[in-house]
Amino acid sequence: MCQNAPGAADAPENPSRRAFGRVVAAGAGAAALAALAACSPGDKTQAPPSGTGVPTGTPSPAVADSSGSSAATPNPSDSAAPAGPAPAASAPASSPAAAAPGRKYSLTDPASPWVVVNKHRALSPAAFVPADLVQPAVRLAVSGEASLLNSTTAAAAQRMFADAAAAGVVLVLASGYRSFATQTATYNSYVNSRGRAEADTASARPGHSEHQTGWSFDIGDGGGACSFQPCFAEQPAAVWAKANAHRFGFVVRYPWMFHQITGYYYEPWHLRYVGVEAAVDMHSRGVATLEEYFGLEPAPAYL
């Protein structure tokens, strides 16, 4: 999530990447205004785009794939199978038959590729640190801890970046791992400058960031345009990732017009590793969010 990444680009004294209303004030073009419409809060019911469905059975078991992902010990109490549709979801789209039930990963263990972290579901332990952080051999726009991912995500990212390059698209790792200490400092700086209510719209609270798990990262475009801005959705990197990331085990974690479910506005740059089988299953069924896929309640705000 760009909103909780440290650095000059999102320092509290600078405009929040989520304050898209200021794009209008600055005289944004039609494309940016279209993105603004999707990223602006309102009173309208949050419905998925036409054709978006929800799973009707258990997802394919995310067994170890070519990336070398290994399963965390399943916990029956938190390893949910996809359930019925979320209140705001549309009717299921035409999709393949539900996969037979199989081995599942934990939804609460931060070392699990299926862990779900949102405004209702904090990491446990709160100060979790991945045991296998590595720097992937990809193009980097950051250094230090922000250039790290867990080893499974790093391997999958390397394959994805290479495939994109073969297609003439340059992906850049713009923000990777973020420690609990870094998230605490970033969030507190927002609170001190803007107040807690606004901070909660711009930065994840400590212990509630996917970046801390090592399973997520933000991408940029090789051309450098529109980083962490609504117009990034139109850049080659975002267009390619939206169409192809699932083949490498990634999903766009905060999709268009689903902030009433995920708790975050559209972030075409934020990718999350869930394993090839789960990502392909979500893509083929048209399931937009992890909350819907695993039958979890929407998490639009902190409890």
Which residue out of 13, 198, 234, 267 is catalytically annotated? 267
Instruction: Give ∠ CA 85-202-13 in degrees, rounded to 5.
Output: 170
**Annotated catalytic residue 145:** no
Nearest CA among 142, 151, 165, 139 for reference residue 111 = 151
φ and ψ at 292, to 5 degrees? -70, -45
CA distances (Å), origin 248, targets 134, 143, 274, 283, 300 = 18, 24, 9, 12, 28
Helix boundaries (H) for the chain: 21-25, 30-39, 151-166, 180-194, 196-202, 236-244, 259-262, 276-285, 290-293
CA distances (Å), origin 212, targets 63, 148, 150, 187, 208 = 23, 10, 10, 14, 8
CA-based R_g, the chain, Å = 18
Q: Could you list the active site residues?
A: 267
